[in-house]
Amino acid sequence: MVSSRSDIASEVGSEIMAQGGNAIDAAVATGFALAVTYPSAGNLGGGGFMVIKLADGEVLALDYREKAPADAHRDMFLDSEGNVDRRLALSSHQSAGVPGSVAGMLEALSRYGTMSPAQVVAPAIRLAEDGFILNEDLAGQLRGNFNSFRNYPASLSAFANDGVPYASGDLWRQPDLAKTLKAIAEHGRDGFYKGPVADLIVSDMRANDGLITHADLENYEAVWRSPVHGTYRGYDIWSMPAPSSGGILLVQMLNMLEPYAIGELGWGSRETLHLMIEAQRRAYADRAEYLGDPDFVEVPAATLMSKDYAERRFASFDPVHASNSEDMGAGAWPEESPQTTHYSVMDAMGNAVSVTTTLNRSYGNKIVVPGAGFLLNNEMDDFSSKPDTPNSYGLIGRVANEIQPGKRMLSSMTPTIVTRDGTPVLLTGSPGGSTIINTVLQVVMNVVDHKMPVERAVSSPRIHHQWLPDVVRYETGAMSEAVEAELQAMGHKGLNGSPFPIGDANSIGYGNGLLEGVSDPRNEGGVAGF
C-alpha cells in the first residue's frame, strides 16, 4: 500500500512492490516520482526525513534535511537596520540550503532496498520524458504560480506551456528534469552531487550571488539517527528526532495528555480541546528555546520526552482557565511549510516507511536550475534569522536554531509509525509548516483515544495552537458553537477567526490482516495497493 499526494506517484510505488521490491524500494521510487508529478513539494532540490520499521522489528530514522552552505553566516538575512529581509530569506539563491533528498533516498535504497537506482528512478524518468496529463489540481497550482515563474527563464520554461499557463488536460513533459534523473539513475549520488548536474547548480549560484559550492555538494551526507521513541496507552510511538522538532514534541504532548481519560471526555469536547491546546502551548514554547541541530547544539531530548518532565511541565494546567502564552516561557528542569508533502508505504512483509519531504514554501524559492529542470528550496528561512523574530510560518526561534555553516535547520516534519506489540498499526505524517506536529498528534489521538478507523481519524477536523501567536486555529466542524463559546469564556483566543485548513495526512492503518490506505480528503492525492 502507498498513500501520497499524487495518485500517479502512489501507483509507481505500488508497481515497484508488485515487481518484487520492498517498502524501501517503493518509498524511494515514490519520492523520485513526486519530484515529477507534485513539484510544489516533491523534489530533488530539497530535503526530508524518513522513519523506517523493518520486518525484523528494527526502527531507523534517516535525516536528509538540507544544510547551510559553508559560506552562510548568522546575520546573512539582516538588512542595514538589523531587520530580517524576507525577500532574501525566501526568494533568492541565498535562501537555498544544500539539497539532501537525492542523497537521502539513495542512502535508504543502498542500505535497505533490494533494487538498483536505475530500477527505482526509471518510472520518474518515463513520467518526465514522456509526460503525463495534467489534472485541474496541478494545472491550477502551475497557473497560480505563473507570475512568480515569469521572473526566472528556466522556471518559466519548465512550468509554462510556451510562455502561457498550462491547462487541465494538457500533456506536460519535463525534458531537463528527465536528463537529471537519468544522471542519477546511471551514476547514483554522483550523478547529482558531482558532474554536469552539480556544475549547473554551482554555475547558477555564482551568477546570482548564491552560496552553494562544489565542495558543499560533494560533502553533503545523509545521517542515520536514533529514532524518537515514546509510549502512549500501550502503543509505541516512533518518530523523527532533531533536527526535526516533530517527534520530540509529539511524544511530549502525548505524555502530558496520557494521565487524562481523553476517550471518556470525548472528541471535540470542551475538556479534550482545552487539554490539547494547553499541551500544544507548552510544547511549542519549549521548541523555541531548546531545539536545533544536535550536531551543533545540545538538545535535551531525553528530558523533554520523559513522563516526569511532562508531569512537571503540565503542573500549571488549570482545568477552567486558559494559560497566557506571553507569561509562559519555555520549561525548565532541576518555526514550516503548508506545501511540504508526506507519504506512507507498507509492504506484505511488514516493512513500513513514513516519509516527509519539502522545498519549504510552495515550489521552494520558485527558481529552477537552468538545464537541470528541478527547483531549489528556500529552507534557509527555517533557521532563526534573528532571535524571537517569527519565520514565514510564525514560528519563534532562538540561539539553538541560529544560522551556522554546515548546520541543518530546525524542522516540524513528523513522519511517524505507531506500533502495538511490535506490529505497525499506523503510518502517518503531514505537511503544514508549524501545524504538522499537531496534525500528527490528532491522527494518533483519534486512533488510540477515540478508536476511529484510519479514514475517519484522518478526515476529522483539527485544531492548532503553537504558543505564539496566542490564538487557536481550527477547521470547520472541529468544535460546536457551544464548545467554542465555552473555550472563549475560559480565555482562549482566536476562536472567532476564519476557519483554517490544517494538514494533509496521507496515512496507512493496519489491523486484522488488512491494510487501510487513506489519502487525506483535504487535497487531491491517491492510494495504490494490491
Q: Could you give phi then psi for residue 36, rounded to 5 degrees?
A: -95, -45
User: Are 52 and 427 contacting, i.e. CB atoms less than 8 angstroms apart?
Assistant: no
pLDDT at 332: 58
Q: For the chain, which domains are there?
A: 1-131+173-530 (3.60.20.40)
Who contacts 134 (Cβ-Cβ below 8 Å, separation ≥6)? 142, 166, 167, 168, 169, 170, 171, 172
Which residues are the active-site residues?
A: 340
**Crossing angle of the two packed helices 117-130 and 175-187, in degrees rounded to 10:** 170
- Residue 330 CA, distance from chain mean position: 24
Is residue 4 classed exposed, middle or buried when 0-12, 13-18 and 19+ CB atoms within 10 A define those classes? buried
pLDDT in tens, 145-184: 999 999 999 999 999 999 999 999 999 999 999 999 999 9
User: How far lies 205's CA from each of 84, 117, 370, 409, in Å?
Assistant: 22, 27, 11, 20
> 70: number of CA atoms within 13 Å, CB side?
8
Within 13 Å and on the Cβ side, how many CA atoms surround 192? Answer: 29
**What pLDDT digit, counting tens, does each position of 333-344 carry?**
444 456 799 999
Task: Give the model's pLDDT for residue 171.
Answer: 98
pTM of the model: 0.95
Spans of the chain, pLDDT less than 70 = 331-338, 388-398, 496-498
Contact criterion met (CB below 8 Å) for 232 and 254: yes
Beta strands in 187-247 (DSSP E): 223-225, 228-232, 235-239
Q: Which three cell numbers stand for residue 75?
A: 546575520
The Cα 280–Cα 513 span in angstroms is 34
E strand or H helix at 416: strand 416-420
